[in-house]
Structure 1
Amino acid sequence: MKTLTIIIITFLTSCLNLQDNSNDLIGKWECYHKELEDGTTKSVDAFSGEEFEYSCDGISIKLNSDFTGIDDTGIKFKYQKKDSILTLGNRSYVIEELTKNQLVIRNYGQKGINISNFRTKFRKID
């Protein structure tokens, strides 16, 4: 009986922790850093040969508790979090880090690694 009670308490506690983590997504997020999956932050323009740094260009998203969101251009979308995969509209990302103040996502493709898999870092602004 003790073992069953411990298992039930452990299960309920883990469910509550998962719920709290999902609630961390709710709010307004602003991008502050973008890099390739290997950590590269700069590239060279193929046409001009000039070096440039990857930029977020002021990207921000707001995620609501009803699983809807809106980006900085006013486009509305639905989002879903399943395990470590975050789907924003029709794009999927791997959640590398999620805290109350920071979200780090990486492009996710079911076909594997792509040359342009970006890691994007957001901070909560509200």
Structure 2
Amino acid sequence: MGNRAVIAFVNDKGEQDKNSVGIYLHWNGGRDSVEGFLQAAKDYGFRSGSYGVARLTQVICNSFPGTLSVGVDMLKNLDCDNFDNGVYWVDQNFDIVDREYISSPNFKEQQQYPLADFVKGVKEDNDFVFDKDPYKKLAS
């Protein structure tokens, strides 16, 4: 049981590749949460490619306490057909461009969290790393 999803990234040509890296979310896989994580990445000015994937993963992990609930692997090894939110395909600008494995014809996107509120919460968990003085919190 969870609210699972995988965030996958199209290549530079906008193509989907099952051999690319994906981020598995066991919780907060609804569209409202995923869009919030992606908006935080945009707001922090993350660059695309592997660096952006790494930093997006960091943002997500900083938002979840503990040692579980997030995974990173090649897409073909992740639980993409997860009976929850499936796969979000994301482009170089951190925008959702496609969805996959939405099996129910009556599927409704989760919109429980207002985007601005969710992004604010994500940033509260991450500003100490990505703010103008990232070492301030670590020094105290």
TM-score by length of 1: 0.27
Q: Which has the higher contact order (CA 8 A, sep 6+)?
A: 2
TM-score by length of 2: 0.25
**Structure exhibiting the larger radius of gyration computed from Cα positions:** 1
- Larger relative strand fraction: 1
